[in-house]
């Protein structure tokens, strides 16, 4: 518990909401935007480069009065595969959720095929997950399967 209370000094506790822990330090902003927290109107607290016993450095996000469905959480699987979501009610941890790689990945990735319509015109990308480990995805449009993942800018 001492660990958690130290963190809470850095990023203050919330009464109700979700704490997203164990985010890689370089993807905290992506997690924010994928989950729509960059446009969220209630309180969002962000901590980055915090010490983590498991991962060295990590990021953490706390969103007040915000609760996620599993399918929304899964959207961050590619950028924060080891993230833990802690659901807080009345300052108590009531549930822990883990991300899983989803069946479909929309908008956040870029197709590696330069002659794909998604790279030629303004079209949101859509990928089907063909294999989860190692990750293999297929573009809905050009139908290319790929194992190297690139994020949209």
Partner 1 sequence: MNLKGKNLISISDYNKQEYLEILRLAKEFEENPKQEILKNKVVASIFFEPSTRTRLSFESAASMLGAKVIGFSNPSATSQSKGESLHDTIKMLSAYVDIIVMRHSIEGAARYAAEVASVPLINAGDGANQHPTQCMLDLYSILKTQNTLENLNITLVGDLKYGRTVHSLVQAMCNFNATFHLVSPTELKLPSSVKMHIKEANLKYEQYTNLEDVIPFSDIIYMTRIQRERFSDPLEYEKVKDSYILDAAMLKGCKETMRILHPLPRVNEIATDVDKTPYAYYFQQARNGVYVRQALMTAILGVK
- Summarize as ranges the residues that interact with partner 1 (CB under 8 A): 111, 113, 115-118, 120-123, 139-145
3-state secondary structure of 32: helix
Report the alpha-carbon distance of residue 130 to residue 110 in Å, rounded: 16
Give the one entry of Zn ion, partner 1, none that residue 145 binds, where binding means its C-beta sits below a cut-off of 5 to 8 angstroms depending on kind.
partner 1
CB of 125 to partner 1, least distance (A): 10
Does the protein bind Zn ion through residue 139 (CB under 5 A)?
Answer: yes
Least separation, in Å, of the C-beta of 146 and Zn ion? Answer: 9
Q: What's the alpha-carbon Rg for the chain, to the nearest Å?
A: 17
Q: Which is nearer to partner 1, 35 or 116 (CB)?
A: 116
Alpha carbons 103 and 3: distance in angstroms, whole number:
35
Minimum distance between the CB of residue 33 and partner 1, rounded to whole angstroms? 24
Q: How many other CB atoms are there within 10 angstroms of residue 23's CB atom?
A: 28
Among the listed residues 23, 63, 85, 111, the single contact to Zn ion using CB under 5 A:
111
Largest CA distance in the chain: 54
């Amino acid at each position: 518990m001492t660990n958690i209370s130290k963190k809470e000094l850095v990023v203050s506790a919330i009464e109700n909401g979700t704490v997203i822990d164990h985010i890689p330090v370089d993807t905290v902003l992506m997690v924010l935007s994928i989950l729509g927290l960059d446009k969220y109107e209630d309180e969002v607290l962000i901590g980055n480069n915090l010490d983590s016993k498991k991962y060295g450095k990590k990021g953490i996000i706390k969103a007040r009065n915000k609760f996620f469905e599993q399918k929304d959480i899964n959207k961050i699987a590619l950028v924060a595969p080891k993230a833990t979501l802690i659901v807080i009610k009345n300052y108590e941890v009531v549930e822990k959720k883990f991300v899983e790689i989803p069946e479909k990945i929309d908008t956040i990735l870029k197709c590696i095929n330069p002659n794909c319509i998604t790279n030629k015109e303004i079209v949101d990308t859509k990928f089907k997950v063909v294999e989860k480990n190692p990750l293999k995805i297929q573009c809905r449009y050009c139908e290319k399967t790929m194992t190297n993942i690139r994020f949209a800018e």
